[in-house]
Amino acid sequence: MRARAPASTANLGPGFDTLALALSLYVDVEVVSADRLVVRSTGEGAELPADASHLAARVALEVVGHDRLAITVSSEIPVGRGLGSSAALAVATAAACGARDPLGVGVAVDGHPENAAASVAGGLVAATMVRGVPRVTSLDLDRGLAFVVLVPERPLPTARARRVLPTEVPMADATFNLGRLAMLVAGLGDRRRLSHEATEDRLHQDYRSALFPEAPMALSRLATAGARATCWSGAGPSILGICDIEDAEGVRARGEAILKEAGVSGQALLLEADRVGLTTERTLGLH
C-alpha cells in the first residue's frame, strides 16, 4: 500500500494546540511484505537512521504487529522545522499499513491532535481531544490565500520548544488569545477580514523567541512585505506569512532577502493549502 500525507502548519498564532492548516508539501510512504525489515528514505529526513528506530518503522510495527516489511519513505517536509513532519509521516505510514484509524496513530505519536488532523483531513481544521478521542472540525478557508514559509536550516525540536512554555498563564492572556482566535478563524474564511492582529498571541510565540531570536524581526518584515498576517509555524523555527495569492510571490522573494539580512541560512517557500489530505493507493498489499 502507498499513502501520501501533506505537511501542516499549526497554532497559527493564537490557536495553540488547536488550529492547523495542511500545506502542499508531502511525504509518500510505501509498505510491502519482506523477509526482514528494510527502511529506505529519500528527500527530507534521509539522513536519519534507516533501521528499527525510524519513526516509519516504529509506526508500521505497531500497526502490523511484525517487522517483516519493506518501507520506502520519500519526503518533501523539512524535519524539526514546525511543519508537522512527524505527524504526516505517522499518518501516512499507518495508512500504508492498512490501519483503520491513521488519525489516532498520528495523535499518539505527536501527543496533540491538530497536525495529524490537518494531514488526514486537509484544509483548515480545529482539533481537540474529547474524552480521549480526537475530534476534528473542518473550517472555511478562503481560496484567495497563499502561504509563504521561511524555513531556517537550523532545526528546533518540538520538545525543546515546549520546555520554555509556562505551565500557567494569566487569565488576561487566555482571554486575549480567545479573542484573537475568533478574529483569525473569521479572517481565514474571508481574507477581506484578515488582519495582522488576528495572529497575535500571548501563550507561546514570545516565550519561544529566545530559541530563535531572529523571529520577531522576520515576522514584522514579512508583514511589511505584504503578508496579511504572520506567525510562527507550529513550534518553529519556521515563520509563516498568510498572503493574498496575487501578492504571494513578491512576499516570498522578500522573504529570501529577510533571511539573508538576518544572517539565517534557509529558504522561503510559496505554498498552497492542501485541501485533500491523506490519500492511499493499493499496491501488492501486506500479508
Task: Please tell me which residue, 144 or 285, carries the higher pLDDT value.
Answer: 144
Residue 116, pLDDT above cutoff 90: yes
Extended strands (E) in the chain:
2-11, 15-33, 38-43, 69-75, 124-130, 133-139, 145-152, 229-232, 239-244, 266-271, 279-281
Q: What is the pTM of this model?
A: 0.94
Three cell numbers, residue 15:
490557536
- Reported as a single tens digit per residue, the pLDDT across 199-229 is 999 999 999 999 999 999 999 999 999 999 9
Averaged pLDDT for residues 85-95? 98
Q: What does the alpha-carbon distance between residue 36 and residue 45 come to, in Å, rounded to a whole number?
A: 22
Q: What does the alpha-carbon distance between residue 5 and residue 96 come to, in Å, rounded to a whole number?
A: 11
Q: What does the alpha-carbon distance between residue 239 and residue 81 come to, in Å, rounded to a whole number?
A: 9
Interior angle at CA 224, CA 221 and CA 230, nearest 5: 65
Averaged pLDDT for residues 124-128? 98
> What pLDDT was estimated at residue 136?
98
For the chain, percent of residues with pLDDT exceeding 90:
94
Residue 45, pLDDT above cutoff 50: yes
- Reported as a single tens digit per residue, the pLDDT across 157-174 is 888 999 999 999 999 999
Averaged pLDDT for residues 145-166? 93
Q: What does the alpha-carbon distance between residue 64 and residue 253 come to, in Å, rounded to a whole number?
A: 45
Residue 2, pLDDT above cutoff 60: yes
> In order of start, what are the domains of the chain with their CATH numbers?
2-139 (3.30.230.10), 145-271 (3.30.70.890)
Residues 248, 145 contacting (CB under 8 angstroms):
no
- The type of residue at 177 is N
Averaged pLDDT for residues 129-155? 96
Residue with cell string 528494510: 38
Residue 107 neighbours by CB distance under 10 Å = 25
Q: What does the alpha-carbon distance between residue 87 and residue 140 come to, in Å, rounded to a whole number?
A: 22
> What pLDDT was estimated at residue 287?
47
Averaged pLDDT for residues 86-103? 97
